[in-house]
Amino acid sequence: MKFEWKQGALLAVAGILVIGGVALTASQSQDEGTKLPEIVAETSFEPKFVAVGDGSSPANIKVAMRYVTADNLVGEPLDGYRDNLCLLAPAAARALEKVAGRLAQDGLGLELFDCYRPQQAVNHFVRWAAAPEDHSTKADFYPREEKSQMFERGYIAERSGHSRGATVDLTLYRMDSGEALDMGTGFDFMDERSATEYPLEDAAARANRLRLREAMSAEGFVNYTQEWWHYTFKPEPYPESYFNVPVARASVKDGVPVPSTLRTGAEQPEQYLPLLRDQNVGLVVNQTSRVGESHLIDFLRERQVGLQKIFALEHGVRGDVENGGKVDDGIDGPSGLPIVSLYGGNYSPSAENLADLDWLVFDIQDVGVRFYTYISSLHYLMQACADHDVPLMVLDRPNPNGDYVDGPLLEEKFQSFVGMHPIPLVHGMTVGELAQMINGEGWLEGNAQCALTVIPVGDYRKSMAYSLPVRPSPNLPNDLSIRLYPSLGLFEGTTVSVGRGTEFPFQALGHPADSAGRFSFTPQPVPGASENPKHKGTPLTGDDLRNVRLDTRFTLQPLLSWSRRTGESPEAFFSRASFFDKLAGTDRLRKAIMAGTSAEEIRSSWQTDLATFREQRQPYLLYPEH
CA angle 446, 451, 457 (to 5 degrees): 125
Residue tagged active-site, from 97, 219, 227, 492: 227
Least Cα distance to 153 among 198, 124, 116, 192 occurs for: 192
Residue 21 and residue 121: Cα distance in Å, rounded? 18
Q: How far is C-alpha 336 from the geometric centre of its chain's CA atoms? A: 27
Please check whether residue 556 is in contact with residue 605, taking contact to mean a CB–CB distance below 8 angstroms: no
Residue 331 and residue 314: Cα distance in Å, rounded? 16
Alpha-carbon distances, residue 247 vs 49, 87, 120, 358, 552 (angstroms): 11, 7, 11, 40, 19
Establish whether 240 is a catalytic residue. no
Residue 33 and residue 339: Cα distance in Å, rounded? 31
Residue 238 and residue 119: Cα distance in Å, rounded? 14
Burial of 507 (0-12, 13-18, 19+ CB in 10 A): buried
CA angle 442, 446, 447 (to 5 degrees): 25
Helix/strand/coil percent split, the chain, to 5: 30, 20, 50
Least Cα distance to 543 among 525, 565, 526 occurs for: 565
Using the 8-state DSSP alphabet, how is residue 357 labeled?
-
Catalytic center residues: 227
